[in-house]
Amino acid sequence: MTIFLKKDERPELEIRDALWTLLDTALLNGGYHINEGKTFNNRMMRAMKMNLGVDSFELMPEIEPKIDEEIFPDMDEDAAGINVEDFDEFKEEMKANPDLAQFVDEL
Residue pLDDT, tens place only, 42-66: 888 888 888 888 888 888 888 888 8
Task: State yes or no: pLDDT of 21 exceeds 70.
Answer: yes
- Each domain of the chain, given as residue ranges in start order, spans 13-52
What pLDDT does residue 31 have? Answer: 93
pTM of the entire predicted model: 0.43
Show the beta-strand stretches assigned E in 7-73: none
What pLDDT does residue 37 have? Answer: 87
H or E element: which one contains 37?
helix 37-52
User: Which amino acid type is present at position 49?
Assistant: K
101: nearest Cα among 39, 45, 93? 93
What mean pLDDT, rounded, does the chain reach?
79
How confident is residue 68, by pLDDT bands cut at 50, 70 and 90? confident
CA distance 57 to 54: 7
